[in-house]
Amino acid sequence: MAQIHKRFTDDQVRDLFQRYLRNEIERKYLQSMLGISKTRFFRLLGEYRRNPARFSIQYSRSSPARIDPAIEASILKELALDKKAIFNRDIPLHSYNYSYVKQRLEEKYEQRVSLPTIIDRAKKNDFYFKVRKTKIHDREVLTRYVGELIQHDSSHHLWAPASQEKWYLITSLDDYSRYLLYAALLREERVWPHIQALQTLVLRHGYPYSYYVDSHSIFRFVRGRDELHYRHHKLTDEVNPQWRQVLKDCGIKIIYALSPQAKGKVERPYGWLQDHLVRTCVRENVTSIHQARKILEYEVRQYNHKRIHSTTGEIPFLRFQKALKEKQSLFREFKVPPPFKSPKDLFCLRLERTADAYRKVSINNLQLKVNGLSPCQSITIRIYPLNPQVSELRFWHQDQLIDTQILKNQALKGVFTFQP
């Protein structure tokens, strides 16, 4: 309940005490009306009796509010770090985050201070931007089940300014629960890390119903943008990128963002994670991707298990688990679909080759003899990287696995690049 001086005027309280002293109102009703304790009631009554004309309930602070100088110094230090990052055009920060500063003071310095105090110090010390009127985005959760829609995205930014190197952040998020199912930092963006992200998600949770992505060339072939030579009969989506082929084998629907506004919808849910990752990397003076990956792991854990999401009003992990418990899920149990024999046949890179007269196929001028292959037969080579050094090649002909071989990744240079 609001303080008494915010709900009543001096004259109103004087009138009530006069009526009490004339026995027109019982104490318990008056005390309940004022919303004060018995002790406070008799203290105020005593002040009124001593000097009715000068009686007042107005609150006045005898001295200005002050906080510990050490806390104030920490606030200004954190705000200064934010300001430096905001004015660096290479860093994806455009505003102050006072809630982050508050969290930082509690976790790093073990100092507790209210958010209004931080904002007050920001305004007084030139660490404040006037709120701009922007178009309101619809952040409503439109899905009804976990696994109904996985929002998948990659962002290329200078996440750690001290490293002087931009990295790619790959993320996959369940739309219904806002639970981050996958997050990884990479030096280069290739198709294989995206396939790895899909594999990790599917093996852990099962097949989702659909993926929502932008029209990046890794996800979609677009005529006029991705082809080297124009051919009028070659239309958008008539060429299957590797990632798209994997989803087709898994029976997962793909939904593409077809406009900048729609692409923004893909990126918007990751705002909290990206914001915190940059601010923490700045403060920890991160210089290597390995350090940044540890911070990313921590921030994902905080986001998934500690923070109440502003859209759903729930902690993402708890919302996700609740939906699974109530069978409010479109995830399908992971099983290797026939005719495939292993997850390696699904989550892999693919090459189409035709055998020569000597039953050999060529990869980067390397001749490979394949057991069980006849001359001039067409085969699909499914390549599954085992580690940074070697990959397993699985040779398929007419839905039959006819041979497997191990090959050094160096020999596959140009086909794919393995990133540790």
pLDDT for the residue 62: 53
Separation in Å, CA 255 to CA 150, 263, 301: 10, 11, 28
String of b and e for 159-190 (b: at least 16 CB within 10 Å)? Answer: bbbebeeebbbbbbbbbbbbbbbbbbbbeebb
pLDDT less than 70: residues of the chain: 1-2, 59-65, 131-141, 220-239, 259-269, 416-420
Beta bridge partners of 174: 150
Domain-wise residue ranges, the chain = 4-54, 69-124, 150-325, 343-412
pLDDT for the residue 162: 93
What is the 3-class SS of 240-282, one letter each residue?
CCHHHHHHHHHCCEEEECCCHHHHHHHHHHHHHHHHHHHHHHH
pLDDT for the residue 198: 96
Around Cβ 362, how many Cβ atoms within 10 Å? 12
Q: Give the pair of three-digit tokens for residue 9.
A: 């005027």
Interacting residues of 388 by C-beta distance below 8 A, sequence separation 6+ = 409, 418, 420
pLDDT for the residue 266: 59
The gap from C-alpha 152 to its chain's centroid, in whole angstroms, comes to 10
Distance CA 34, CA 22 (A): 18
Instruction: Identify the helix (H) or strand (E) that includes residue 216.
Output: none
Q: Give the pair of three-digit tokens for residue 140.
A: 């409503």
Distance CA 6, CA 126 (A): 31
3-state SS assignment for residue 101: helix
Distance CA 49, CA 34 (A): 18
Interacting residues of 275 by C-beta distance below 8 A, sequence separation 6+ = 93, 97, 100
What pTM does this model have? 0.76
Question: Residue 349 in contact with residue 409, Cβ under 8 Å?
Answer: no
Alpha-helical runs (H) found in 57-110 = 69-86, 98-104
Rg value, the chain, Cα: 32
pLDDT for the residue 225: 45
Distance CA 414, CA 173 (A): 31
pLDDT for the residue 216: 78
pLDDT for the residue 37: 87
Question: Residue 141 in contact with residue 175, Cβ under 8 Å?
Answer: yes
Alpha-helical runs (H) found in 114-270 = 115-124, 191-205, 242-250, 260-267
Question: Residue 191 in contact with residue 416, Cβ under 8 Å?
Answer: yes
pLDDT 10s digits, 343-353? 999 999 999 99
Q: Does domain 150-325 correspond to CATH entry 3.30.420.10? A: yes
Distance CA 270, CA 299 (A): 12
Distance CA 94, CA 98 (A): 13
Around Cβ 91, how many Cβ atoms within 10 Å? 19
pLDDT 10s digits, 371-413? 888 899 999 999 999 998 999 999 999 999 999 999 998 888 8
Rounded to the nearest 5 degrees, what angle is found at the Cα of 366, between the Cα atoms of 363 and 367?
95
pLDDT for the residue 90: 83
Instruction: Identify the helix (H) or strand (E) that includes residue 215.
Output: none
Q: Give the pair of three-digit tokens for residue 230.
A: 């124009």
